[in-house]
Amino acid sequence: MTIRPLTEADIKQAAALLADCFPDPWSETSLKEELTEPCAYMLIAEEAALCGLIHLHITGTQWTVNTLAVSPAFRRQGIADRLLVAAMEEAERRGGKQGYLEVRAGNTPARRLYQKHGFYPVGTRKNFYRDPAEDAIIMAYGEERA
């Protein structure tokens, strides 16, 4: 498996992957626009085809995981883990010290993955997700716990 930065040539496949994973996915246009954002960083995982994607915003010492998706056919193979580690390393390389993300309250596998890498819950956003409606757990990395 290869992990590398997303390029414009990957946009169509990336949008299709996100459509397979989320009820309200990013569009090809949105992904293309993100490629021009200096604070955006997107990695993909490939194994014969694009099978995973992570999207970060890195600004100053803070970074945010906006999206982490793995094709349903490739789940439970460590792809999300590898993408998260690679993205966290890049955030650190760029000076990022504090990370944040939101995850569905009921997405236990994702919450376990984030906790494995040092994220911990700091709050809740009520009814943040739709289709179906669900709370988001806000998780942080690298801050001192209150």
The answer, yes or no, to whether residue 14 has pLDDT greater than 60, is yes
The bridge status of strand 62-70 relative to strand 98-104 is: parallel
The predicted structure's pLDDT at residue 145: 54
| Residue keyed to tokens 């989320």 | 22
The answer to whether 65 touches 93, Cβ cutoff 8 Å, is: no
Q: Mean pLDDT over all residues of the chain?
A: 91
Q: How confident is the model at residue 144 (pLDDT cuts 50, 70, 90)?
A: low
pLDDT single digits (tens) 72-103: 988 998 999 999 999 999 999 999 899 999 99
> Domains in the chain, start-ordered, CATH in brackets?
2-101 (3.40.630.30)
